[in-house]
Amino acid sequence: MKKFPKNLLNDMYDNNVRFDKIMHIPTLICSISERVSDEFQDFLGDAYQEKQSADILAQCPTLERTLKEIRENDDIEDFAGEVAQDLYRECGDFEFLINIEIAIPYNFKFSEEGKYFSNSLGGIYQMQWILAKDMVNAAEIAIERATALWEKECEKAKREKGLV
């Protein structure tokens, strides 16, 4: 079995992103219980939000019907097993459902010319659910999302300081 690449661990650390919850989609539907895990219940609550639903839909467009059902059904937790089956059936390329946690950068420092010097981190995090083919793919997606968030916050800080 191939080990998870150490450079990806370092990149995740450097980009201030980590895996908060990891669920293996095929085994979600193997539960003998009517109720799936608390982590999957958390996903259902978060997928109710428009932004999170749109992010998942962008990764797996065939989930449109399921995501619409999550947003419109106030008792979706009662159908969690069916939603897990939909994930497995509709998103066959994806094996993992992962909640990532990204530290939100703030307090950016720039030179008078707008050159980046530093920023602060800590205390404020953005949580996002992602689908991934494997854990390497998950790390790559997490790093990409963290980089995009950093760039967005950096540009926002430059605009607020009148540097753009």
- Tens of pLDDT, residue by residue over 58-84, are 999 999 999 999 988 888 888 888 888
127 strand-pairing partners: 101
Q: Is the pLDDT at 1 greater than 70, yes or no?
A: no
Higher pLDDT among residues 18 and 36, named by residue: 18
pLDDT of residue 48: 87
Cα–Cα nearest to 88, from 21, 25, 23, 22:
25
Task: Retrieve residue 63's tokens.
Answer: 């989930």
Per-residue pLDDT band at 122 (split at 50, 70, 90): confident
Torsion sign, CA atoms 121, 14, 127, 19 = negative
Mean pLDDT of the chain: 91
Question: So what's the pLDDT on residue 34?
Answer: 60
> Rounded to an integer, what distance in angstroms lies between the CA atom of residue 12 and that of residue 15?
5
| Rg (the chain; Cα; Å) | 18
